[in-house]
A and B are shown apart, each in its own frame.
Chain A
Amino acid sequence: MELLGLVYYWVFAILLMIGFYAVIAKRNLIKKLIGLSIFQAAVFLLYITMGKVDGGTAPIFQDGVSLYSNPLPQVLILTAIVVGISTTALGLGIVVRIKEEYGSIEEDEIQERDRR
């Protein structure tokens, strides 16, 4: 059945939802960022999965090999990973600053402090 062949897509969907849930439901800012990373990682998985050609090998020219996997998604994902890292780094930097200013990284405590 097709289902087993699609296992990577299932993983993608599950990781996506785990990450999304963490982003929305967790109060701690670091946990939100972790969720975001998982969310993005799921997308990376999607792209790489779609690049794999059945029976294909790594897309580096070699003698005697005729079938390669699609290099383009891998390259795209490298870019996206870099973007993801930058985002996470920036996010963590902001969290550090928030801790400095507010003394907490729990969302509700921060809101409480601002209300006063």
Chain B
Amino acid sequence: MNSLAHHLPALQVIVPMLSAPLVMLLKPSGLARAAATAASLLAFAIAIAMTMGVLDGSTFTYRMGSWPAPYGIELGVDRFSALLLLIVTGASSFALLAGRRSVDADIDESRQPLFYAAWLLALAGLSGIPVAADAFNVFVFMEISSLASYVIIAGGSDRRALPAVFKYLIMGTIGATFYLIGVGLIYLMTGTLNLADMELRIHEVADQKPILVAAGFITIGLALKAALFPLHVWLPNSYTYAPNAVTVFLAACSTKVSLYLLLRFDFFVFQGNLAGHDVQFTYFLMPLAVFAILIASGVALFEQNIKRLLAYSSIAQIGYILLGASFVTVAGLTASTVHLFNHALAKGALFLAVGCLATQCMGLRLSDVGGMAKRMPWTAAAFVVAGFSLIGIPGTVGFISKWYLITAALEQGSLGIALVAVLVISSLMAVVYIWRIVEAIYFAEPTSDLSSVREAPLVMLVVTWAAALANLYFGLVPEVPVTLASSAAETLLEHLP
């Protein structure tokens, strides 16, 4: 068993990656789905195993082919990576378990094995990023996951997904290419791609222009992938028109991974080495984060389509994450990283509930879901619980994030008070837009005959409620995510001068 534990980082990526072609070959779609779900759950188990390992204090390092670093390719899992792996594999597993109806509705049965194969490739790519310890591998995994994501987003029956995914493809590729340029410039100056090695070598050349330019390119490239305002325009339509199961998966984790990468790269490589970088970081990110929070929440207030409303809400939440990071303090980074986890839980649960609604409603506009709560009480209640988590009602994970974020903001003195006001205003906006949906589900007049509406299938309900209850559980017993997050924050800040 000892040797198996040693291989876990590699297995985390290999399991989904090798399952993908296998799944593609399985003809009956039910078998393909079962195999994909099994692979995803196995990946989740691996992530949990590694999390337990890192909570004990150890970190995993793995050298591919036993080539020593920095010549060989290294994989590494520490607490920050473990947090992300939990999010990615968990989101995939939950979405697959609950996604049968959505996939059946949107995708031809004969094409489903291909769909699931693409899903697993996306999972492999997204799992690879937290695990990789050198910059170029990250690029490869990033593109694997992006390309596979484009496939599964566009796979559905809504034709509007196609222009949406085209825009995502263009913007995502530009982002990845910018990242590549940045990595190239760093390689030019330091001669290494291994992150740990980079950090040492960059010290000697830190005051030269290419490093600064590289920092800029990498930040912008990853910001594009992470949907940071104003580079977020690909997100709303992609999430809205993708099949519901895909939205659950991607909304919970795709931008989070890019944010993880941005933070790790920035803090590991740049912060300690570029003079005044922390100030630049703060003054660059903080206003963008504030704009993201306020503007995206504002748009969500008026949005009629539930999925798009939640997508804009996600853009605002990404703003929260970056706001915490822009403080460059332990409290701020803890808030930021714990919100990576918490938002995945909250948004995942919300989109799962939306998926349940979609099995019975004609469409997903506010006018389509009127009065559904009478016939789908469990779904509606799950939506309410997840909504509370998004708003930040105490007892939910959303509250934990908000608490940490406000505490971190208060440390900033008078600027902090203004930021607290921003956080409060956006929480109130969240109350309004969540409430609009809840009110529609519970009180609005039904626009169509409800007599044939039944509660969502049991499996979907169980998964949705598991996600909703996880919001409550980790809201009252947040030990594990908070430990991982605060370690992550400390690790990131260690690299500061």
A residues with CB within 8 A of B: 16, 20, 23, 29, 32, 36, 39-40, 43, 46-47, 50, 72-73, 76, 79-80, 83, 86-87, 90-91, 94-95, 97-98, 101-102, 107, 110-111, 114
Say whether B435 faces chain A, with CB atoms less than 8 Å apart: no
Decide: B184 and A39 in contact? CB cutoff 8 A.
Answer: no
What are the nearest 9 A-B pairs in CB distance? A101-B159, A83-B143, A50-B188, A98-B162, A94-B166, A47-B184, A110-B163, A87-B173, A46-B184
Residue on A nearest B154 in the bound complex, by CB: A94
Residues of B within 8 A of A20 (CB): 174
Say whether B136 faces chain A, with CB atoms less than 8 Å apart: yes
Residues of B within 8 A of A83 (CB): 139-140, 143, 147, 176
Decide: A102 and B147 in contact? CB cutoff 8 A.
Answer: no
The verdict on A43 contacting B184 (CB below 8 Å), with A36-B173, A94-B165, A98-B162 known, is: yes
Decide: A101 and B162 in contact? CB cutoff 8 A.
Answer: yes
Decide: A73 and B187 in contact? CB cutoff 8 A.
Answer: yes
Decide: B159 and A95 in contact? CB cutoff 8 A.
Answer: no
Residue in contact with B159 in the complex, picked from A32, A46, A79, A102, CB distance below 8 Å: A102
Residue in contact with A91 in the complex, picked from B160, B166, B184, CB distance below 8 Å: B166
Residues of A within 8 A of B180 (CB): 43, 80
Smallest CB separation, A28 vs chain B (Å): 12
Say whether B5 faces chain A, with CB atoms less than 8 Å apart: no
The verdict on A40 contacting B184 (CB below 8 Å), with A79-B140, A83-B143 known, is: no
Interface size class of B (residues with CB under 8 A): 20 to 34
A and B contact pairs by CB, cutoff 8 A, 8 listed: A32-B170, A83-B143, A87-B143, A87-B173, A90-B147, A90-B151, A97-B154, A98-B162
Decide: B173 and A94 in contact? CB cutoff 8 A.
Answer: no
Question: C-beta contact mask, B130-160 vs A, less than 8 Å → 1, else 0?
Answer: 0000001001100100010011001000011
Residues of A within 8 A of B169 (CB): 87, 90-91, 94
CA distance A99 to B147 in the complex (A): 20
The verdict on A43 contacting B166 (CB below 8 Å), with A94-B154, A97-B154, A101-B159 known, is: no
The verdict on A95 contacting B143 (CB below 8 Å), with A39-B177, A46-B181, A90-B151 known, is: no
Residue on B nearest A114 in the bound complex, by CB: B160
Decide: A50 and B163 in contact? CB cutoff 8 A.
Answer: no
Residues of B within 8 A of A80 (CB): 139, 180
Other 9 A-B pairs with CB < 8 A, given A40-B177, A43-B177, A94-B150: A23-B170, A72-B187, A73-B184, A73-B187, A80-B139, A87-B147, A87-B169, A94-B165, A102-B159
B residues with CB within 8 A of A: 136, 139-140, 143, 147, 150-151, 154, 159-160, 162-163, 165-166, 169-170, 173-174, 176-177, 180-181, 184, 187-188, 193
Smallest CB separation, A75 vs chain B (Å): 9
Decide: A50 and B187 in contact? CB cutoff 8 A.
Answer: yes
Smallest CB separation, A38 vs chain B (Å): 11
Most chain A CB within a 10 A radius of its CB, from B136, B140, B170: B170
CA distance A89 to B162 in the complex (A): 15
Residues of B within 8 A of A32 (CB): 170
Decide: B163 and A98 in contact? CB cutoff 8 A.
Answer: yes
Residue on B nearest A46 in the bound complex, by CB: B184
CA distance A86 to B143 in the complex (A): 10
CA distance A68 to B455 in the complex (A): 69
CA distance A14 to B177 in the complex (A): 15
CA distance A101 to B159 in the complex (A): 7
Residue on B nearest A91 in the bound complex, by CB: B169
The verdict on A90 contacting B150 (CB below 8 Å), with A80-B180, A101-B159 known, is: yes
Residue on A nearest B71 in the bound complex, by CB: A72
Smallest CB separation, A73 vs chain B (Å): 7
Residues of B within 8 A of A43 (CB): 177, 180-181, 184
Smallest CB separation, B374 vs chain A (Å): 33
Smallest CB separation, A101 vs chain B (Å): 4
Residues of B within 8 A of A86 (CB): 143, 147
Residues of A within 8 A of B140 (CB): 79, 83
Residue in contact with A40 in the complex, picked from B136, B162, B173, B188, CB distance below 8 Å: B173
Residues of B within 8 A of A23 (CB): 170, 174
CA distance A114 to B165 in the complex (A): 15
Residue in contact with A95 in the complex, picked from B151, B166, B173, CB distance below 8 Å: B166
Residues of A within 8 A of B160 (CB): 114
CA distance A72 to B166 in the complex (A): 32
Residue on A nearest B183 in the bound complex, by CB: A76
Residue on B nearest A12 in the bound complex, by CB: B181
Smallest CB separation, B121 vs chain A (Å): 11
Smallest CB separation, A63 vs chain B (Å): 24
Decide: A94 and B143 in contact? CB cutoff 8 A.
Answer: no
Residues of A within 8 A of B154 (CB): 94, 97
Residues of A within 8 A of B143 (CB): 83, 86-87
Smallest CB separation, B136 vs chain A (Å): 6
Residues of A within 8 A of B139 (CB): 80, 83
Residues of A within 8 A of B170 (CB): 23, 32, 36, 91
CA distance A43 to B160 in the complex (A): 32
Smallest CB separation, A98 vs chain B (Å): 5
Residues of A within 8 A of B173 (CB): 36, 40, 87
Decide: A97 and B174 in contact? CB cutoff 8 A.
Answer: no
Residues of B within 8 A of A76 (CB): 136
Smallest CB separation, B135 vs chain A (Å): 10
Smallest CB separation, B115 vs chain A (Å): 15
Smallest CB separation, B170 vs chain A (Å): 6
Decide: A50 and B184 in contact? CB cutoff 8 A.
Answer: yes
CA distance A14 to B143 in the complex (A): 25
Smallest CB separation, A54 vs chain B (Å): 15
